[in-house]
Amino acid sequence: MRKIIVQKFGGTSVADTDKIKNVADVVLREKQNGNDVVVVVSAMGHTTDHLVKMAKALSPNPSSREMDMLLSTGEGVSIALLAMAIQAKGYDAVSFNAMQVGIMTENIHSKARIINIKTEKLRKNLEEGKVIVVAGFQGVTEDGEITTLGRGGSDTSAVALAAALNAERCDIYTDVEGVYTTDPRIVPRASRLDIVSYEEMLELAHAGANVLHPRSVETAKQFNVPLRVRSSFKLDDMGTLIVGVDKMELHRPVAGVAADLTQARIVVCDVPDTPGVAARVFTNLANENISVDMIIQSYARKASNTNDIAFTIDKNDLPKTLAVLETLRQEINAGDIKVDDDTAKVSIIGAGMIDRPGIASTMFETLAKLNINIRMISTSEIKISCLVDKIDAQKALKALHTVFDLECDVVADVKGDLPDV
Amino acid sequence: MRKIIVQKFGGTSVADTDKIKNVADVVLREKQNGNDVVVVVSAMGHTTDHLVKMAKALSPNPSSREMDMLLSTGEGVSIALLAMAIQAKGYDAVSFNAMQVGIMTENIHSKARIINIKTEKLRKNLEEGKVIVVAGFQGVTEDGEITTLGRGGSDTSAVALAAALNAERCDIYTDVEGVYTTDPRIVPRASRLDIVSYEEMLELAHAGANVLHPRSVETAKQFNVPLRVRSSFKLDDMGTLIVGVDKMELHRPVAGVAADLTQARIVVCDVPDTPGVAARVFTNLANENISVDMIIQSYARKASNTNDIAFTIDKNDLPKTLAVLETLRQEINAGDIKVDDDTAKVSIIGAGMIDRPGIASTMFETLAKLNINIRMISTSEIKISCLVDKIDAQKALKALHTVFDLECDVVADVKGDLPDV
């Protein structure tokens, strides 16, 4: 049986007709390798921005149902054009939108999750030798309502299709050459990773290296779909393979380092040290859909019988968080609420660190030698994070990258928009 | 029970967000009259041209299936934006594409005919008080393939929806104020008709006054849907009502005059006068899908036992026609084939002329007085057409417009693109 490869191309890869022709070549290269190919594409370049601008001109707060109707047209254009480009090169191709395939989602607009993908039509068309071009980012509900999948949606579409079709691999073509040990704009000698585990990739993504949206990596992990992040301009370069940790030979304790500038630190001072109070703080935040990352509770001060609770949140949630805390502060009779948003979370990530106890101390020593204050620490099985002052973030990142031996011999050739650190 | 009004707005009416806001006002005016409203819209302004241009950049001959996928996205944008604009004015609105409604068509791309329209979803949403915005021009097959309806498709969508919903009326909003007795750019004192029959409208349309595509008028006639052509800028003006001839009091023999410059005249000389030869000419043309309009066969010349066959075709079909005729000429041993494409078909149209025998002679006399040669004549129950030299077309049109008393007192205020005559 022929193998199925799912390929995904983002908006910059299909930004104009010349780029679409290039994508057709990439697709046909895989087809010529003897594989069946399903291609997922996003809307062309700035289409989405243009559509959003028109919507905003008509309504300050357009309904999410109609926004989904509107935005889903973007992929409608790119799938048809790519199918035409493939046909023009002498191959059979057919485009389908999410409604035609049956990419079934929850009935939630603007951030629906895929429930199920119907594969009959896809399999029938693959058997007929066709290249199939599918609209990313969109789905449809049982009632025929059009939904969209939110940020990183096309990556998720591609991975979900690969899972549904039991594909050999899902190749995410992008304008970077793969996943790096850290942001090459900050550390020019960052190394491109040949292989990384889903878990490491998730931590790298959450820590700010947003080559892939975490949701797509989670889906790949859930269905064990091998993912490859690779450049649509350097076709002989296989990029970075992302697989289960069981498929990796771990010889490096740390896979990468990352800095995340999106978090703010909150300290609620003088919280009465009675059972259930801390739980109440985090329950109230959770009720407002505010994610809390690092948490530290100080030892209780005997004299006042109070303690301080410090935690980090996404800066975008700051107004909501302060509203929740102000109400709570009065109810529980706590002290001041302090906010520090000049912080950076610096993390080292590696599935191999679990068996090597010296990693954490190496990290702390490295920062100490540079006189960098560590304000908070959190650890997981594959990650150690330190909250530091924003001004120290770059220095910390560079030193950690060196000390964990992640440098390569050549300066990375970086294109495109990497995350702002 | 509340009445249902179907409204249709073309591409120029929704060309930008300001114009879409204006359309929302027009829609809500009808809603505020206490009617249920279903709105059909075309793609915004030059969207279709832009999409076609991209397709041509990718393929010299893109597949019609993918062209339909591509072009149908245009209405996807305008329906969502119009629904948002209506919502922003405080009313409930919902947009549906053809697949969501169930506008079922034949499985023919780029010129499908509507077979059936599902009304459950529409009726349910109307009962909930919503304004429904439906994508024109597009349909869907039983297999979920997206089709388009060809030229004038959105008008046809609107009329078919009005028929399916048993609507009170279908209002076609456009950038002209209605149907005129003739092209006001040629005859400034052309009158706007308050009422015209389907049959007259069809002849006016076929004769070159393409305010409405004939197909939409045919559909309206078939299902007896009252149609109104009116301006989206002059809302108190009721435009032209198009109804069955049985609903009109006929007091004018001639409703309008028109000139059609799209036809070429062909003469096949010295055709052997044997039975079946003429039939063979027209059968071969029909096999190539070439429509023949006027036909004249001369009396047979006794000496040679041959005659001449003259007929008119659409100029676009000229290359195909000549190919067919050249093959046939050798088979049947006919003489030269002459082509004259400097011709104009001037027609007078009126459902009232059937009972008034003097109309034809008045037409011929009027042209004779101006020394205009009549090369061919054809007549139907509601139309008399004369083929004249192109150079005489304007002169003929003006004289006929005057002699049949179609002038009005004021010079027409004409906007937009009327047909090129």
Is B95 within 8 Å of A63 when comparing Cβ atoms? Answer: no
Rounded-to-integer distance, Cα B134 and Cα B151, Å: 18
Q: Give contacts of A144 with chain B, Cβ < 8 Å.
A: 99-100, 121
Q: For position B276, what pLDDT does the model report?
A: 85
Read off the pLDDT of residues A40-52 as tens digits, 9 standing for 90 and up: 999 999 999 999 9
Q: For position B416, what pLDDT does the model report?
A: 46
Give yes or no for A99 touching B (CB within 8 A).
yes
Is B99 within 8 Å of A69 when comparing Cβ atoms? Answer: no
Q: For position A186, what pLDDT does the model report?
A: 84
Q: Which residues contact B37 (CB under 8 A, 6 or more apart)?
A: B4, B5, B6, B7, B27, B30, B31, B131, B132
Rounded-to-integer distance, Cα A390 and Cα A87, Å: 52
Q: For position B1, what pLDDT does the model report?
A: 72
Give yes or no for B367 touching A (CB within 8 A).
no
Read off the pLDDT of residues B357-401 as tens digits, 9 standing for 90 and up: 789 999 999 999 999 999 999 888 889 999 999 999 999 999 999
Q: Give contacts of B70 with chain A, Cβ < 8 Å.
A: 76-77, 80-81, 84
Residue A315 burial (CB < 10 Å; 0-12/13-18/19+)?
middle
Give yes or no for A73 touching B (CB within 8 A).
yes
Calculate how close chain A gets to B84, using CA atoms only, in Å. Answer: 6
Residue A415 has pLDDT above 60, yes or no: no
Q: Which residues contact B385 (CB under 8 A, 6 or more apart)?
A: B207, B294, B345, B346, B347, B377, B378, B379
Give yes or no for B100 touching A (CB within 8 A).
yes
DSSP summary character for residue A402: H
More confident residue, B126 or A355: B126
User: What does A129-197 look like in DSSP terms, one character per residue?
Assistant: T-EEEEESSEEE-TTS-EEE--TTHHHHHHHHHHHHTT-SEEEEEESS-S-BSS-TTTSTTBPBPSEEE
On average, the pLDDT of chain A sits at 91
Q: Which helix (H) or strand (E) holds B257?
A: strand B256-260
Q: For position A152, what pLDDT does the model report?
A: 84
Is A69 within 8 Å of B88 when comparing Cβ atoms? Answer: no
Q: How far is CA A195 from CA A228, A234, A330, in A?
A: 9, 18, 51
Read off the pLDDT of residues A7-28 as tens digits, 9 standing for 90 and up: 999 999 999 999 999 999 999 9
pTM: 0.84
The contacts found for A217-223 with CB under 8 angstroms, 24 or more apart, are A217/A242, A219/A114, A219/A156, A219/A159, A219/A160, A219/A163, A220/A159, A220/A162, A220/A163, A220/A170, A222/A163, A223/A159, A223/A162, A223/A163
Q: Give contacts of A55 with chain B, Cβ < 8 Å.
A: 80-81, 84
Q: How far is CA B87 from CA A62, A231, B27, in A?
A: 8, 43, 12
Is A83 within 8 Å of B60 when comparing Cβ atoms? Answer: no
Calculate how close chain A gets to B247, using CA atoms only, in Å. Answer: 41
Q: What's the average model confidence in pLDDT over A31-42?
A: 97
Q: For position A125, what pLDDT does the model report?
A: 98
Read off the pLDDT of residues A245-295 as tens digits, 9 standing for 90 and up: 887 776 688 999 999 898 999 999 999 888 888 889 999 999 988 989 888
pLDDT band for position A299 (cuts 50, 70, 90): confident
Calculate how close chain B gets to A228, using CA atoms only, in Å. Answer: 28
Q: What's the average model confidence in pLDDT over A116-129?
A: 97
Residue A296 has pLDDT above 70, yes or no: yes
Q: Give contacts of A62 with chain B, Cβ < 8 Å.
A: 84, 87-88
In terms of CA atoms, which chain B residue is nearest residue A82? B58
In three-state secondary structure terms, B1 is coil
Calculate how close chain A gets to B133, using CA atoms only, in Å. Answer: 11
Q: Are A228 and A169 in contact (CB under 8 A)?
A: yes
Tell me the residue type at B226.
P
Q: Are B236 and B26 in contact (CB under 8 A)?
A: no
pLDDT band for position A303 (cuts 50, 70, 90): confident
Residue A142 burial (CB < 10 Å; 0-12/13-18/19+)?
exposed
Rounded-to-integer distance, Cα B268 and Cα B335, Å: 7
Q: Which residues contact A15 (CB under 8 A, 6 or more apart)?
A: A44, A45, A46
Residue A413 has pLDDT above 70, yes or no: no
Calculate how close chain A gets to B82, using CA atoms only, in Å. Answer: 8
Residue from the list B21, B60, B99 with its beta carbon closest to the beta carbon of A99: B99
Tokens of B162: 């009005």
Read off the pLDDT of residues A390-411 as tens digits, 9 standing for 90 and up: 999 999 999 999 999 998 876 6
Residue A352 has pLDDT above 90, yes or no: no
Q: Give contacts of B59 with chain A, Cβ < 8 Å.
A: 84-85, 87-88
Is B54 within 8 Å of A17 when comparing Cβ atoms? Answer: yes
Read off the pLDDT of residues B94-135 as tens digits, 9 standing for 90 and up: 999 999 999 999 999 999 999 999 999 999 999 999 999 999
Q: Give contacts of A85 with chain B, Cβ < 8 Å.
A: 58-59
Q: For position A418, what pLDDT does the model report?
A: 42
Read off the pLDDT of residues B280-336 as tens digits, 9 standing for 90 and up: 999 999 998 898 988 888 777 778 888 899 999 999 999 999 999 999 998 898 999
Residue B420 has pLDDT above 50, yes or no: no
A contact residues 119-148, partner B, Cβ 8 Å cutoff: 121, 144, 146
Read off the pLDDT of residues A183-228 as tens digits, 9 standing for 90 and up: 888 888 889 899 999 999 988 866 555 678 888 999 999 999 999 9
More confident residue, B243 or B210: B243
* Complex confidence, ipTM: 0.84
Give yes or no for A335 touching B (CB within 8 A).
no
Residue B417 has pLDDT above 50, yes or no: no
Q: For position B241, what pLDDT does the model report?
A: 95
Which of B17, B39, B72, B84 best probes binding to A when mutated, by most A CB atoms within 10 angstroms? B84
Tokens of B291: 């429509």
Angle between helical axes of B198-206 and B214-223 (0-180°, round to 10): 170
Is A77 within 8 Å of B66 when comparing Cβ atoms? Answer: no
Give yes or no for B50 touching A (CB within 8 A).
no
Give yes or no for A51 touching B (CB within 8 A).
yes
Give yes or no for B151 touching A (CB within 8 A).
no
Tokens of A168: 């050999």
More confident residue, B248 or B202: B202
Give yes or no for B327 touching A (CB within 8 A).
no
Lowest mean pLDDT among A203-207, A302-306, B57-61: A203-207
In terms of CA atoms, which chain B residue is nearest residue A97? B69
Q: For position A416, what pLDDT does the model report?
A: 47
Is B66 within 8 Å of A80 when comparing Cβ atoms? Answer: yes
Residue from the list A58, A87, A144 with its beta carbon closest to the beta carbon of B100: A144
Q: For position A183, what pLDDT does the model report?
A: 83
Rounded-to-integer distance, Cα B37 and Cα B420, Å: 34
Q: What's the average model confidence in pLDDT over A160-177?
A: 94
Q: What is the dihedral of CA B156, B158, B160, B166, to 10 degrees?
A: -150
pLDDT band for position B208 (cuts 50, 70, 90): low
More confident residue, A241 or A245: A241
Is A84 within 8 Å of B55 when comparing Cβ atoms? Answer: yes
Residue from the list A51, A77, A87 with its beta carbon closest to the beta carbon of B51: A77
Residue B411 has pLDDT above 70, yes or no: no
Rounded-to-integer distance, Cα A41 and Cα A140, Å: 17
Is A80 within 8 Å of B87 when comparing Cβ atoms? Answer: no
Q: Which residues contact B46 (CB under 8 A, 6 or more apart)?
A: B11, B15
In terms of CA atoms, which chain B residue is nearest residue A92? B63
Task: Using a pLDDT cut of 90, give the percent of chain A over it.
Answer: 70
Q: For position B413, what pLDDT does the model report?
A: 59
Closest CA relative to residue A67, chosen from A80, A48, A94: A48
CA B239-B243-B244 angle, 5° bins: 160
Rounded-to-integer distance, Cα B147 and Cα A160, Å: 28
In terms of CA atoms, which chain B residue is nearest residue A90? B59
In terms of CA atoms, which chain B residue is nearest residue A84? B62
CB atoms within 10 A of CB B129: 12
Q: What's the average model confidence in pLDDT over A143-158?
A: 94
Residue from the list A85, A94, A146 with its beta carbon closest to the beta carbon of B58: A85
pLDDT band for position B214 (cuts 50, 70, 90): confident
Residue A421 has pLDDT above 50, yes or no: no
Which of A14, A52, A73 best probes binding to B when mutated, by most B CB atoms within 10 angstroms? A73
Q: Which helix (H) or strand (E) holds B37?
A: strand B36-41
Tokens of B231: 């301006």
Rounded-to-integer distance, Cα B20 and Cα B18, Å: 5
Q: What's the average model confidence in pLDDT over A22-39?
A: 96
